[in-house]
Amino acid sequence: MPDRPRLTPAVADVRRAVRASLGDLRADDLVLVALSGGADSLALAAATAFEAPRAGLRAGAVVVDHGLQPGSAEVAAAAAAQATALGLAPVEVRRVAVGTEGGPEAAAREARYRSLGEVASSTGAVAVLLGHTLDDQAETVLLGLARGSGPTSLQGMDAVAGPWRRPLLAVRREATRVSCADLGLEPWDDPHNDDPSYARVRVRTTVLPVLERELGPGVAEALVRTAAQLREDAEALDHFAEEVAEEVADHAEAGISLDVRSLAANPAALRQRLIRLAVSSEFALTLSRAQTLEVARLVTDWHGQGAVSLPGVTVVRTGGALHFAATAAS
C-alpha cells in the first residue's frame, strides 16, 4: 500500500463517517474494529486506523473465524495481517464454535457477538465498530417488513447500542469497495454473500434490484429514511409510555396492576406499550404483538372473559384493573 494514498471521495466518505462515530469518546479510549476481511469491514478498519489517532484514541481489531468454510483460518490470518499493516493494535483472532439454534445465520451471529464482547471486555475496549452499511440497513428493514416483524424490526439496526457502533449506516456498500481499491487494499469476498439459500442474499441480489428497476433509483435510501422516522416515533412513544406508567401502574408483592380506565383512555399504540412495559419490567418477558393484543382485549373488548395466560404470567381483569402475576407452578 502506498505511504500516502490519495484522498478520494469514497475514502473521505468512510473516514468522515468514522470520525463522527468516534466523536464522543475520551482520549486514550480503546476501540476495536470487527474485521472479517470483506470490503465493508476492511474499509472501516482503514478509516479507523487513520481517524482514531487523530482523535487521541487507540484502535485495534478482532477477527472472528467461524470455521464454517475450508480455509477460514487462512482468511482470518490474512485479515489480521491487514489490520496490523494498517497500524491497528491489539489485533486478535478468535475461532468460535457455531451451534445450530435458530438456524445457521443466527447461530453464527450469536457466536460472533459473544466472541467480540469477550475481547472487548478483556482488552477494556469501550466500543466495537461494526461494518454494516446503508445497504445492510435497507435489507434489514425490507426483511422485517416482509416478515411482519413490527415497528422494532422496521427501525433497522442501531447506530449505537451499548458497546456496538455502526459508523457506516449512511455509507453505501459500493463506497466501501471503492475505498478499498483507492487505498490499495484487497478485500476478501465471502462466498456466503452470493448464496441464494440465504434470505438476505436474495433480497440483496434479486428483490432490491427489482424494486430499483420498477420503482426507480433510491429505494434503499428511502427504506433507511423510513427506518429513521420510525425510530424517532418509537422513541417518543416509549418515552410517553414510561411517563404514563408512573401514573397508571400499581406495584404489589404479587405482581403489577394497570388501571383499566387509564389504559382505555390512551391511544392503542400507547396502551399496548404500557402492557408490554409492565410485563417486561416486572417479569423480564417480551410479548409478541399477538400476546399484547390478547391482553389489550381485556380493556377494549371486555365481556367478562377469564384470565389471559402468557408464558409464566397470568393477566386477569378485576376491580377496574388488569392484574399481572407470576403463574403458580403446578
pLDDT tens digits, one per residue of 295-313:
999 999 999 999 999 999 9
Which residue type occupies 37?
G
pLDDT for 2 = 44
User: Residue 309 and residue 328: Cα distance in Å, rounded?
Assistant: 11
Delimit the domains of the chain by residue range.
Answer: 9-219, 253-326
- Pick from 136, 138, 289, 288: which is nearest to 228 by CA? 138
Sign (positive or negative) of CA dihedral 84, 86, 88, 91: negative
Q: Domain 9-219, what fold?
A: Rossmann fold (3.40.50)
Q: Domain 253-326, what fold?
A: Chorismate Mutase Domain, subunit A (1.20.59)
pLDDT for 89 = 97
Q: List C-alpha distances in Å: 61 to 54, 80, 87, 184, 316.
A: 17, 8, 10, 19, 52
Do 253-326 and 9-219 fall under one CATH topology? no
- Pick from 159, 90, 92, 164: which is nearest to 127 by CA? 164
- 3-state SS of the chain is CCCCCCCCHHHHHHHHHHHHHHCCCCCCCEEEEECCCCHHHHHHHHHHHHHHHHCCCEEEEEEEECCCCCCHHHHHHHHHHHHHHHCCCCEEEEECCCCCCCCHHHHHHHHHHHHHHHHHHHHCCCEEECCCCHHHHHHHHHHHHHHCCCHHHHCCCCCEECCEECCCCCCCHHHHHHHHHHHCCCCCCCHHHHCCCCHHHHHHHHHHHHHHHHHCCCHHHHHHHHHHHHHHHHHHHHHHHHHHHHHHEEEECCEEEEEHHHHHHCCHHHHHHHHHHHHHHHHCCCCCHHHHHHHHHHHHCCCCCCCEEECCEEEEEECCEEEEEECCCC
Which residue type occupies 161?
A
User: Residue 315 and residue 330: Cα distance in Å, rounded?
Assistant: 17
pLDDT tens digits, one per residue of 235-263:
999 999 999 998 899 987 789 999 999 99
Residues constituting the chain? 330
In the block, residue with C-alpha cell 399484547: 292
- C-alpha grid cell, residue 147: 416478515
pTM of the model: 0.84
8 A C-beta contact, residue 100 and residue 107: yes
Residues of the chain with pLDDT under 70: 1-5, 67-68, 100, 102, 104, 149-151, 153, 329-330
Q: How far apart are the first and last CA of the chain?
A: 68
